[in-house]
Every structure is written in C-alpha cells, then in structure tokens.
Amino acid sequence: MNVAEKYTDAELIAAIGDTKHLNKAILFLYQQYARTTSSFIINYGASEQDAEDVFQETVVSFIDIVKKDKYRKEASIQTFLVSVARNIWLNEVKKRERSGFRERQFESGRDQKETDVSHQIGDLEKRRQLRELVNQLGEPCRKILLLFYYENLSMKEIVDHLPYENEQVVRNKKYKCLQQLTGIIKDHPAIASQIREIIK
Amino acid sequence: MELNAAHALIDHLDHSLKGQHSPEMEQKIRDDHETAVEWHYLRLAVESVQEAGLYDQVETAKQEWLAQQSVAGRPQGAVIRTIYRKVMSVAAMVLLLAGGAAIFKYMTISSPGLYEKYYSAYALNTTRGAGTTSAIEQAYNNKNWEAVLSLGNSASAKDINNKTYFLTGIAELELKKYDQAIDIFQQVIAVNAQSGSDYFEEEAEFYLAMSWIARNDVNEAMPLLEKIKADKNHLFHETVAKMSFLDLRIAAYKDHK
C-alpha cells in the first residue's frame, strides 16, 4: 500500500505548492481528513456520494486557495477544510432547491432563459461547467492541452507521450485544440461570464 | 481573426505563462478590441484546462485512497486517532501516578467547568467602532438572544455579513445551542477564507473554540487556542494566555475517554 507522507500543516502547505509533491499531499489530505469532513457533511443531510463529491471539490478548492497564496493559516487545516466543505455543500443544497423551483416553473410552462439559469448556479456547478467545457473536447485534444498547460511538458516531451511525428505536428495540433476550446467557451457566454468571476 | 494572428496570440500566451512577455503583443491586446477579446477567451481556455487537470489529479488520488480503504478496511485517520488515544492514555496514567493532587485535579476538571471558567460574554461596543446601531445590535446589547436569532435568520441577503453571522453565533452560544454556534462561527471563518477578508475573524476563532469546549470537544478547540496563544496581536491573546493548557488537555482526554 502506498502510504502518504506525514505532514504538519506547514509542511502540507509547502507540499501543495511543489508540483513534485502534490500527489502525496492530496493523498495525505484524503487519508487524514476525508472521513472527518465527510461525516460532518453527512450530518447536514448529504448522502455518502454527495459527501465524497463535496470533499473532492473541497480538496480542489483548497489546493487552488493555497496555490493562489490565499490560505491564511487560520485554526488548522482540518477546521478550514470542514468550513470549505460546509460552504460547498450549502451552496449545492441551495442550487438544488433552486433547480427544483426552476423545474416547477418549467413544468408550468414558463420560459427559461439560459442567462437566468447561469446566474443561479452555485460555485460547485460553475466548477463542473468549467470542467465539462474541457471534457467536450475529444480525448486527443484534452490530453495534449493537459500535458502542455497542466503538466507543463515541453513540445519535445509531448512527442514522447503521444503518437505524433514531431514537435511541429504537436504544435499545430495544440493550436487547433486550443481554438476548439475557445470556440466551445464562446458558445456559452453566460458560463464564460460566470467563470471569469471564480477564476480571476 | 486570421490564422496567423491567432497563432501568434497563442504563442504569446504560452510565452507569458513562462514569464516571457512581448511588449508589442501586449500593446496590441490593449489597442485592438478583437485581439483583446480573443486573448480573454484563450486565457479562460487555459484556466479551464488547469482546473480540469487539477480535478483529474485529485480524482486519481481519491481512487488510490478508496482502494486503500478497501484493502485496509479502516481509514488511516482512525489509526492515527487510535495511536493518539493510546498516547493520551499513557499521559493520563502518568498524571494519575503523579499523586493525590494530580488525581484531585483530574477528577475536578471538565469541559463544562472550563467553559464556565473561561467564557466571557462578547461586548459588542468595546471592540468595534460606534456607528448607527442596527436592530440586531440593539437586541444583542439587550441580551435578547431570541430576537438576535430571529433578526439574523430573517436578514435579507444584502444585510447578511460576518457581523450578523457572528452575533447570531453568540446568541446560539448563549442559548446553549452549541452545534449551531459552531456552524455559524465556522461560516464566518469560511467566508473570510474565500473573500480574503478578516472581518470578525478573531472573534469567530475565539468563540468557536469556546463553543467546542462547551460541547465537550476540547480537542477541536486546542488548535484554535494554541494559534491564538501564539499570536500576540490576536484580539483574544491575553484571554487565552491566561488559560491553563494542562487543564484543557486533561479535559480533552476526559471528553474522549
């Protein structure tokens, strides 16, 4: 079994900021805090699956906060994670309540405007939408963009990972894939405006 | 946008991500609306990819953790907690052997007792500047806790802020609804964490710790109290510095015995 490193709070923050140690840091977050945080969320009416999803969103948010240097070390990481998870879950609950309301409106024959819907979606939904935009790409495009923009691999390294002949072919493919993604985003102006708010 | 121009903008984006800036392209983005719009979408696309990449990475770790769960049957956290309990048991044994005085101390210390000893009501006007007194502040100053809760819970979205949350939390605490108080103080801290503010942060930290003590969960309060004790500029540093951490640790052990 791959046992995660043991970290103090300060060491964990440092590990999250270091790409080489991020995997171990995430595993440690799960080993150390997933149960406690999920139990807390379940007490608020979440199912086990909800709690699992919320904790995953919590970890993503926490890493994002740390990487953007917004984590101010209040209390402990555990308390912070529980607070973030609670916030995410309450937003999700509100979104579901609104969704039910919208469904009732729809059933009663009222028109639904896309912009109205986008204004009502919560942060959790925004993050899902954000990822879904990328998931609308075909796997080759998704892979090449992730390798370049998330893994920070060079063109030469990508040639070693993917079945392309040379760096120029990869470069041309990446141009097309990125333009394809911007096209997908342009087709969802309401989502784009929402995303700007959460990822600025 | 023409293909070459689009590719040039993408190249500029890639170079920017590596800290290499092109003054000419930056000027073009500033001057040309079409280029500026395209630039915005490109940045958004890259940020979407990074978000998806992080989610994938967390998903992979989650799957590894779930696999470990199925093999081990018990979470690592539980193992750590068991070890922690054993350590605390040994510590408690040492305390018991230390003599009659220690035994007496042990027998007489409890979370409710410490809460009564260390709790001090929050005086609204002594820590925040005077201004127009709102209805909830008036209710708070009159110690009309039910009214504070009613006003806090019925506040419109524009009136809800950390002060409203905090006063509602104190009202819950005064009414001995400790779980609700904990939820609210955590909410204050979470809102600050996400907004980058510190409005009522230190107040929420102290009274969150007191709420944990009140509900017989001193273990949860300890990180907060240790943080406040270590921060000489903290609003409640003096109060916490006077607390006996030995007593708190004994109570923590008794809470989980």
pLDDT in tens, B25-62: 889 888 888 888 888 888 888 988 988 999 999 998 88
Q: Which residues between 25 and 54 in chain B have a beta carbon less than 8 angstroms from any beta carbon of chain A?
A: 38, 41-42, 44-54
- Reference A96, options A40, A45, A31; nearest CA is A45
Residue A5 pLDDT: 64
Cα–Cα distance for residue pair A84/A71, rounded to 1 Å: 12
CB contact (8 A) between residue B75 and residue A84: no
Percent of chain B with pLDDT over 90: 16
Cα–Cα distance for residue pair A103/A81, rounded to 1 Å: 32
Q: What is the pLDDT of residues B108-133, one digit of tens each?
A: 778 888 888 888 888 876 444 445 56
Contacts of A1 in chain B (CB under 8 A): 68, 71-72
- The torsion angle over the Cα atoms of residues B191, A26, B206 and B200, rounded to 10 degrees, is -20
CB contact (8 A) between residue A4 and residue B62: no
Q: A121 vs chain B: nearest CA distance in angstroms?
A: 16
CB B187 within 8 A of CB B165: yes
Cα–Cα distance for residue pair A164/A166, rounded to 1 Å: 6
Average pLDDT, chain B: 81
B230 touches chain A (CB under 8 A): no
For each successive 10 residues of chain A (200 residues), what is the average pLDDT?
A: 69 89 92 89 87 91 84 77 84 76 42 29 61 88 92 88 86 93 84 56
Residue, of A96 and B168, whose pLDDT is higher: B168
CB contact (8 A) between residue B41 and residue A185: yes
Judge whether residue B248 has pLDDT over 80: yes
Contacts of B51 in chain A (CB under 8 A): 60, 127, 130-131, 134, 199
- E strand spans, B75-187: none
- Work out the number of other CB atoms within 10 angstroms of the CB of residue A89: 25
Cα–Cα distance for residue pair B76/A73, rounded to 1 Å: 24
CB contact (8 A) between residue A30 and residue B17: no
Token pair of A146, please?
A: 């992730």
Helices (H), chain A: 9-16, 22-43, 48-67, 77-107, 114-120, 123-135, 139-145, 155-161, 167-186, 189-198
Cα–Cα distance for residue pair A138/A134, rounded to 1 Å: 9
Residue B130 pLDDT: 45
